[in-house]
A and B are shown apart, each in its own frame.
Chain A
Amino acid sequence: MHIPDGILPLPVTGAGYAATAATTWYSIRKIKQKEDPRQDIPKASLLTAAFFVASWIHIPMPPTSVHMVLNGLLGTLLGYYAFPAILIGLFFQAVMFGHGGLTTLGLNAMIMGLPAIIAHHIFRMRKWGSGESRRKTSVFGFLAGVVAVGISVAMFVVILLTNLPAELNVVSEKAAIFTLAIAHIPVIFIEGTITALVTTFLRRVRPGILDGV
């Protein structure tokens, strides 16, 4: 789900960088409003590593293969730290493995980072009403994981479909894009399950980790 260099026109990639700059600024602003902004940096660092390695975990879905994203998990555990963490992870993935590209770094950060922030807000809904419970943590953790990857796939598809070059066989490329999107459906539910399991486990053994998010 990483868009590589040379696929999209320059104005679109430029708009991606502008949106990423604005979102990064807003995220840092929100982080600075915390009582101790440095407190969650170790957690953010470790989850950046998890995100970085996740793109290596390929799941064969004939006729294609997909990989884990983990942006929902980062959003639920990190809150606004998730966006810069994903941005750094994407940069290393592009430079070292060629997953994505440097010109499309901004767009890829929006595709995976913005849904992480949305996942953070979905996970916070567990505190509504009669307070937090194990079941609510599990349900909203699952929803956060599902929605994050689902929105990422939707953004990926919309950006590609609205920027198909004229010289391509549009019908064939559209079919390939939809096939790839459908192949992500199992990943959506796998990531929802992983997010629910991790948040439920952390609530039981280290509830303090979830306090800030």
Chain B
Amino acid sequence: MCGKWRSIIAIIGILMLGSALPTEAYAHGVNIEYTSNVEIEIIARYDTGTPMAGAQVAVYTPSDPSTPWLTGVCDEEGRFSFVPDTSQPGIWDVQVRLAGHGGIIHIPIGGDAAVTDGGGGFSHLQIGLMAACVVWGTVGTALYFSRRRRT
């Protein structure tokens, strides 16, 4: 008799314990989906630092570098952002243009390529040094030819 009650209590206890646990974790599989959107943002400025506000932007895919995949306009701060089609890996070209001024930036997308910026510009110090070298070259040329003329 005692053994019978012990068995009933044990079964009730197991059932109570089971009801206290989150049923979802055991009863249903979980399906999580995600999409990876890598947004590319460019900032277009003149070398004076002035933003290219209102500049027109054309984005070209690696497969068709002659027809724009997307066109748009930079905002007041020279910013433009877009989400590239990651199914087209390779080098994407982004051209920025305003009143005949502008440039092209090449952005690697997908694969093992890391997204890089279009930097590589020179610092003011480097530009100053380069300008000084060119000016010195011209002054040196002037001195050389003026010396030859006197002798």
* 17 A–B contacts, CB within 8 A, in A order: A2-B101, A3-B100, A4-B103, A5-B103, A6-B102, A38-B149, A45-B141, A52-B135, A52-B138, A53-B135, A96-B131, A97-B127, A98-B121, A167-B67, A167-B68, A172-B54, A172-B56
Which chain B residues in 93-151 approach chain A with CB under 8 Å?
95, 97-104, 121, 127, 130-131, 134-135, 138-139, 141-143, 145-146, 148-149
- Number of contact residues on B: which range applies? 35 or more
| Residues in A neighbouring B43, C-beta threshold 8 A | none
Whether the pair A92, B134 counts as a contact (CB closer than 8 A) is yes
Q: Determine the distance from Cα of A6 to Cα of B143 in the docked complex, in whole angstroms.
A: 38
Chain A minimum-CB-distance residue to B72: A169
- Number of contact residues on A: which range applies? 35 or more
| Residues in A neighbouring B138, C-beta threshold 8 A | 45-46, 48-49, 52
| Residues in B neighbouring A42, C-beta threshold 8 A | 141-143, 145-146, 149
Whether the pair B56, A173 counts as a contact (CB closer than 8 A) is yes
Which chain B residues in 58-106 approach chain A with CB under 8 Å?
58, 67-68, 71, 73, 95, 97-104
- Asked whether any CB of chain B lies closer than 8 Å to the CB of A41, the reply is yes
Whether the pair A176, B99 counts as a contact (CB closer than 8 A) is yes
Which of B54, B73, B131 sits near A56, CB closer than 8 Å? B131
Q: Determine the distance from Cα of A45 to Cα of B131 in the docked complex, in whole angstroms.
A: 14
Q: Determine the distance from Cα of A7 to Cα of B134 in the docked complex, in whole angstroms.
A: 27
Knowing A3-B100, A7-B97, the reply to whether A96 touches B56 (Cβ < 8 A) is no
Chain B minimum-CB-distance residue to A168: B56
Whether the pair A6, B103 counts as a contact (CB closer than 8 A) is yes
Q: Determine the distance from Cα of A156 to Cα of B101 in the docked complex, in whole angstroms.
A: 11
What's the least CB distance linking A95 to chain B, in Å?
9
Whether the pair A176, B54 counts as a contact (CB closer than 8 A) is yes
| Residues in A neighbouring B53, C-beta threshold 8 A | 63
Whether the pair B99, A64 counts as a contact (CB closer than 8 A) is yes
